[in-house]
Amino acid sequence: MTIALAEFMFDHTQPRWTSPWFWAGLVVTVGLLVAVQILRFGKSKPAPPAKPDYSATSIIRRNNPIDRGTP
C-alpha cells in the first residue's frame, strides 16, 4: 500500500498543491478531523450512579463489633 501511495504521489509532472482539488480535499480532511475531536471530547453523558457495595468484606466489617467501636 505504501508503494502504491508513493507512486500515486510522485507520478505527476506538476506539484500536487497547484490543483484546487488538493486544497479542497485538504480542507475537508482537516474539517473532518476537527469534527471528530469535537464529538469525541465534547459534552458526554453523565456517569451512571455508583452501585452499592455488597461485597463480603463490607458485610463482615459492618457486623464486627470491633470495627464499630463498641467494646
Residue 16: Cβ-neighbour burial (10 angstroms; 0-12, 13-18, 19+): middle
Taking the C-alpha atoms of residue 67 and residue 71, their distance in angstroms, rounded to an integer, is 10
pLDDT in tens, 23-66: 899 999 999 999 999 988 887 777 777 776 666 665 555 555 56
Q: With contact defined as beta carbons under 8 Å apart, do 67 and 61 qualify? A: yes
pLDDT in tens, 1-34: 777 777 777 777 777 778 888 889 999 999 999 9
pTM for this one? 0.45
